Structure 1
Amino acid sequence: MTALSWNCQGLGLPWKIQFLKNDVQQHEPSFVFLCETLCGKVRMEKIQRELNYEGMVVVEAQGKSGGMALLWKQENQATLLSFSNYHIDIETKSFGVGSWRFMGFHGEPNRSNRRKTWDLLRNLSRDSNLPWCVMGDLNNIVSQSDKRGGVPYPTWLVEGFNETLVDSGLVDMHIMGHQFTWERSRGTTNWIETRLDRVLTNERWNNLFSRSKLYNLEGSPSDHNPIYLDTRSNFATAWHLGGREVTGNFSGRIKKCKAELTNLRNKTDQLWLQAGDKNTRYFHVAASERRRSNAIQKLQNTEGEWFEWNSGLGELIANYFERLFSATEANWEEVVDKVLTTITAAHNEYLTREISVEEVKFALFQMHPDKAPGPDGMTPGFFRNTGL
């Protein structure tokens, strides 16, 4: 099972949709959880079709905020258990492990209302004893090391969230790659990075998917990076190389696998050398015969005359290639006349007209304010504030 979660901060812009498509095509997640979609069901159904996912639950945006969607590949892959403005809870099955819960969750952004989602998480933990995985933008950190830059996180928020995890029987999964999933004001003295997006799991789920890995997929048109959960074991074949289980710590396993692969390569080289010794004479004979059969003995010119190597064959070959690669006159107008016109004169005039200040301003205000700095190091937000 694989899952992707992203706080997209709105799906109204085409490049955000394209970014999502690219991530889905590259990683092919079984589940996709999106929060802060800022759109309704009709818009999400269109996106669902573009992503080619059969199952979906949508929580529509409230005015100009919120909105969530949880998508899954096959229609009969999941059953909806419950939902709210903060969560979507489904039951699914995996081969060999049976049923378990997967939940997309978006923590309350307003700190004064943060306890609302903490209590919700506690209550949801009591709904079922199934293996449980929670994924999304929790809008909380578990320690001060989850934040870099700015003022320290309020202690009551850190302690309150950790108490919620204990009460709910959940643990925070380590993330691979860059440790922070949200940022603001990159490239300035006010740059802040925080890990807000995470995966929480209970003990039963961890026992079933003990080899799971969580990855930070860096580079996003949103303030949040997508995160990607993979429950499959990428090292299973290496850890059971040659039909024998390779035990020990990680470093020891790597050394044992390297030694096993070296032995395998040496054995292969020995077998190849033995086979080569037995067949050396055959290979030499066959190669010599092939060279004789492939050799050019004579060629015919355009007048039907035959030439051999002792009667001008070399010169005939040289003249042929000289003519082949020499420039000749051609009437390109006949070719160009056959090309159909696809851009009208009006279109061409529109494309080649002088760029206006209004066009530059429109494009600039479509860009993320704190990303894509230019050669001078200034972001789009700087130029907006100059009054362009």
Structure 2
Amino acid sequence: MSIIDWNYRGLGNLRIGKELEVVIRAKVPSVVFIAETWADEARLQQIKRNIEFDNLFFVERNNRDGGLALFWRNSVDLSVDSFSPNHIDSIINKGKEDVWRFIGFYGEPVTHKRMESWNNLRQLHNKFNLPWLCAEDFNEIIRSSEKMGGSSRSQTQMQQFRYAMDECGFIDLGFLGPWYTWQKHFSAGHSIWERLDRALATNDWLLRFAEAWLSNHTCSEVVEAIWEAREVTDPAARVIRKIDKCGRELKRWERDHFGNIRNTLKEKRKELAEAEKEALRIELNFRIQELKKEIMDLVDKENRLWFQRSKELYTSANQTLCDAATMSIEKIISSDLNNQLGQEFTAWEVQKAIKEMAPLKAPGLDGMPPLFYQHYWNTMKHVGKEDYMVIKLDMSKAYDRVEWSYLESVMRRVGFTERWITLLMLCVKMVSYFILVNGEPKGMIYPTRGVKETLYHLSFSYFAQKD
């Protein structure tokens, strides 16, 4: 499914209406959101007929300005949840497993009212816990480089937008094409350019290991071929090597199978234009129907390929202070419990833990989240009978903001064995990450404590020998 968001500043203009029809015909979107329609219901209904869409929801203009419109096809299971002069909130696939949320947003154009827009975003964020895509004209920039010409933008003004983005868990999806999305030219010869339009998405709307891959059977063939290959190395190192090789080969496979989607789409759209000319001549549209279906499939695959956000914090602690702080803690762990914890992990326990994990959380440096292990568990289990298995655990809920040295001291005071403490600390400490600064990865960081749960997730690894 593809979406077009556009600030047209006046659909009442017949020339602009024709331009929209040309874009729709070329891009074949399933959903279209228009800001600043400057049009009444009659004109919007006419636009709906002209672009051959099935559904329309609109927010009326204020006098001659403003106005929002959302068009969508019957092929999309979309329902509008809420609206205002600045947004239309819709739910895609409501009540289904793959439910998500799309909001077309228009930021307040008046500077002193801009905070109303950010507070609106916060309220919308708190309303649902769903994968969320929010796009269109926010009427604000997030950094000075997004403006050229005119007076400098206030740092406080830009920071307020960044705060709202962070509280909503948004990442900027980036763009293709011109850097600036808005421009104004003055008769004196100078101009102002700004990037006001953007698409933002939450972490769970993005993928590191793309779910789209699993729709292609040759993806499984790549994984199985690598995993079943024999290597004469240390068992633990063998698993690490195979996962690393899976990552490299799947990237190569992705380039071959999905990397050319954009070029294929371009060619198919050219074919569609020619097919439409031919249909006018011979009065048969079978080729048009075939090409439209192929284009929709390609667009769907392209729009499922995203990447996951990862952003963390860290500090350090003094071990001596931690030991002193835990001095009064009494031993509560019994010998029976320690013996139980000291037993070897079974295949059933490992498999159960994997299946309970959220599919797209906690990817490691190899890029493989639980989805990869859940989908290919049987392949890995077969090899695991004689090797070691690498398991990824999302432990953010258990260790939010806890200093690692303090955690170790507490475990020792309550009576856990050194073997168990060593194993748990290995899980906790085997983590490093990049920080996304305004959407760009910066530096490798090795933390020394847990991370705030509501914003971040950690990925840990440990080795469990298979029976």
Do residues 47 (structure 1) and 25 (structure 2) align?
Answer: no
1:23 Cα deviation (Å)?
0.4
- Look up the match of 2:252: 253
Inter-CA distance 253–157: structure 2 relative to 1 (3 Å threshold): same
Query: What is the TM-score normalised by the length of structure 2?
Result: 0.46
Inter-CA distance 81–242: structure 2 relative to 1 (3 Å threshold): closer
- Look up the match of 1:184: 184
* Runs of 5+ unmatched residues, structure 2: 224-244, 258-467
Return the alpha-carbon distance in structure 1 between the equivalents of residues 8 and 37 of structure 2: 6
Return the alpha-carbon distance in structure 1 between the equivalents of residues 246 and 180 of structure 2: 33
- Look up the match of 1:244: 222
Inter-CA distance 196–243: structure 2 relative to 1 (3 Å threshold): same
1:243 Cα deviation (Å)?
5.0
- Look up the match of 1:60: 60
Map Cα deviations across residues 325-375 of structure 1 (whole Å, 9 max, x no partner): xxxxxxxxxxxxxxxxxxxxxxxxxxxxxxxxxxxxxxxxxxxxxxxxxxx
Give the residue type in structure 2 aligned to 1:244: V
Return the alpha-carbon distance in structure 2 between the equivalents of residues 210 and 187 of structure 1: 51
Q: How many residues align?
A: 236
* Runs of 5+ unmatched residues, structure 1: 212-231, 259-388
Please give the root-mean-square deviation of Cα atoms over the aligned residues, in Å.
3.5
Question: Larger radius of gyration, structure 1 or 2?
Answer: 1
Inter-CA distance 185–112: structure 2 relative to 1 (3 Å threshold): same
- Look up the match of 1:12: 12
Return the alpha-carbon distance in structure 2 between the equivalents of residues 6 and 154 of structure 1: 26
1:97 Cα deviation (Å)?
6.1
Inter-CA distance 113–101: structure 2 relative to 1 (3 Å threshold): same
Return the alpha-carbon distance in structure 1 between the equivalents of residues 254 and 69 of structure 2: 45
- Look up the match of 2:25: 25
- Look up the match of 2:120: 120
Inter-CA distance 107–22: structure 2 relative to 1 (3 Å threshold): same
- Look up the match of 1:316: none
- Indicate conservation of the 8 Å contact 1:241/1:257, yes or no: no
- Look up the match of 1:164: 164
Return the alpha-carbon distance in structure 2 between the equivalents of residues 114 and 135 of structure 1: 16
- Indicate conservation of the 8 Å contact 2:125/2:168, yes or no: yes
Aligned counterparts, 1:291-310, within 5 A:
none
1:77 Cα deviation (Å)?
2.0
Inter-CA distance 77–62: structure 2 relative to 1 (3 Å threshold): same
**2:178 aligned counterpart, secondary structure:** coil
**2:4 aligned counterpart, secondary structure:** strand
Inter-CA distance 244–117: structure 2 relative to 1 (3 Å threshold): same
1:151 Cα deviation (Å)?
2.3
**1:179 aligned counterpart, secondary structure:** coil
Inter-CA distance 256–78: structure 2 relative to 1 (3 Å threshold): closer
Inter-CA distance 177–48: structure 2 relative to 1 (3 Å threshold): same
Give the residue type in structure 2 aligned to 1:100: W
Return the alpha-carbon distance in structure 1 between the equivalents of residues 4 and 219 of structure 2: 30
- Look up the match of 2:446: none
Return the alpha-carbon distance in structure 2 between the equivalents of residues 105 and 69 of structure 1: 11
1:32 Cα deviation (Å)?
0.3
Give the residue type in structure 2 aligned to 1:172: D
Give the residue type in structure 2 aligned to 1:25: R
**1:175 aligned counterpart, secondary structure:** coil
- Indicate conservation of the 8 Å contact 1:53/1:72, yes or no: yes
Query: What is the TM-score normalised by the length of structure 1?
Result: 0.54
Return the alpha-carbon distance in structure 1 between the equivalents of residues 256 and 98 of structure 2: 32
- Indicate conservation of the 8 Å contact 1:35/1:68, yes or no: yes
- Look up the match of 1:93: 93
Aligned counterparts, 1:121-160, within 5 A:
121-160=121-160
Give the residue type in structure 2 aligned to 1:134: C
Return the alpha-carbon distance in structure 2 between the equivalents of residues 175 and 187 of structure 1: 30
Inter-CA distance 191–254: structure 2 relative to 1 (3 Å threshold): farther
1:55 Cα deviation (Å)?
1.6
Give the residue type in structure 1 aligned to 2:134: V
Return the alpha-carbon distance in structure 2 between the equivalents of residues 171 and 68 of structure 1: 24
Return the alpha-carbon distance in structure 1 between the equivalents of residues 84 and 197 of structure 2: 19
Give the residue type in structure 2 aligned to 1:62: N
- Look up the match of 1:303: none
Return the alpha-carbon distance in structure 2 between the equivalents of residues 3 and 256 of structure 1: 24
Do residues 196 (structure 1) and 174 (structure 2) align?
Answer: no
Map Cα deviations across residues 166-208 of structure 1 (whole Å, 9 max, x no partner): 122222211122221111218974222211111111111114x
- Look up the match of 1:34: 34
Return the alpha-carbon distance in structure 2 between the equivalents of residues 37 and 201 of structure 1: 24
